[in-house]
Structure 1
Amino acid sequence: MKYWWILFSLFLFGCNEEAHEIPDINQAVSLISQENKPNFDVGYADLNSDGFDDAIVMLKGMNWCGSGGCTVLIFQNTGSDFTFISKSTVTGSPIRIAETKTSGWNDIIVWSKGKGSVLMRFDGESYPSNPSMQSLVSEDQEKNAKIILE
C-alpha cells in the first residue's frame, strides 16, 4: 500500500519517457501523390539520427511504376507529422539503409535496372532524383546494409 502514491502519480501525470509514435504517413503520401488513397509500401528508419523513424515510401501502380522501376518518396518524421524530403523515380527494390552517412543522413541503397545496387547520398537537401546516375555499391556496403523494403 505504500506505493499507491507512485502508481497514482504515474496514472495522473504519465511517464517522463516520451513514446516515439510514428505519425500517420497516409496524409503525407496523399498530399505529394495528389491521390486520395495512394497505393504504396513503406519502411521506417531513423535516417538522420534524431530519434524519430523517417519514412521511405515506394508508390505502386501504373502512375508510379514503369519498366525502369517505381517512384520512391522520402519523408522526415518531425515527431508530429511527416515532411517531404525527396522523390526518386526509376527505383527498384530491395531498398536498404547503409551504415554510411552523407550530410548527416544515412545513405540509401536501391536497385537500378540495368545497373544493379547503387548508393543514394543525401546532399543536404534531398536524395538524388534518378538512381541510375549513381555509383554502384561495394559488396561490403550491400552486405552490411539493413533491408527496409523488399
Structure 2
Amino acid sequence: MTLLWIPFSLFLFGCSEQPQLRPDIHQAVSVALENNAADFDVAYTDLNNDGLEDAVVMLKGMNWCGSGGCSMLVFQNTGSDFALISKSTVISTPIRVTETKKNGWNNLIVWSKGKGYVLMTFDGKSYPTNPSLQDGVSEEETLKAKTIFK
C-alpha cells in the first residue's frame, strides 16, 4: 500500500509542471501609452535569456507612425506582467534579433529610413530611442539574425 502512495502523492503535489502563462500584453501597452488606444503587432522572444518570452511591440496607425517609420516598444516578461524597457521611434520592419548580446540582452537589427539596417544594442537600461543615430550593420550580419517582424 505504501508503494502505491508514492506515485499518487507525486502526482498530487506537483511533479507535473504547469505551462508558462504569458502576461497580458494589451494591459502592458495600455499602461505604457497612458491608456491611449493603439493598434499593434507583437512578437514574443526571449531577449535576456531568462527563459521568459519578452515582447517586441510595433505600434500602428497615424498616432504612432510617420514617414520615417513607427514606434516600437520592448517589454520584459517578469513572469507576472510585462515591464516597459524601451520606446523607440522611426522604426520600420523588418526587425531581427541577433545571437550577440550587450549588457545581457540580444541586439536588435531594425530598418531605418535613409540608413538601411542598423544595430540597436541594450545599454543596461533600454534600447536606443532613435535608430537613425545608430551604426549600420552588414548584410551578412543581418542575414544571420532571426526575423521577428517581416
Q: TM-score, normalised by structure 1?
A: 0.90
Q: Distance in 2 between matches of 1:13 and 1:38?
A: 43
Paired position in structure 1 for 2:125: 125
Q: Which moved more, 1:57-66 or 1:134-143?
A: 134-143
Root-mean-square deviation over aligned CA pairs: 1.9
Deviations 1:40-66 (A, max 9, x none): 000011101011010000000110000
Paired position in structure 1 for 2:7: 6
Paired position in structure 1 for 2:138: 138
Q: Which moved more, 1:131-140 or 1:14-23?
A: 14-23
Q: Which moved more, 1:136-145 or 1:86-95?
A: 136-145
Q: Distance in 2 between matches of 1:86 and 1:73?
A: 6
Shift of 1:90: 0.1
Paired position in structure 1 for 2:101: 101
Shift of 1:3: 7.2
Correspondences of 1:76-87 after superposition (within 5 Å): 76-87=76-87
Change in Cα spacing, 1:4 to 1:149, as seen in structure 2 (3 Å) is farther
Change in Cα spacing, 1:36 to 1:71, as seen in structure 2 (3 Å) is closer
Shift of 1:22: 1.6
Query: Any runs of at least 4 consecutive aligned residues in structure 1 with deviations exceeding 2 A, and if so which?
Result: 2-10, 12-21, 34-38
Paired position in structure 2 for 1:15: 15
Paired position in structure 1 for 2:32: 32
* Structure 1: gaps of 5 or more residues: none
Shift of 1:114: 1.1
* Structure 2: gaps of 5 or more residues: none
Letter in 1 for 2:138: S
Q: TM-score, normalised by structure 2?
A: 0.90
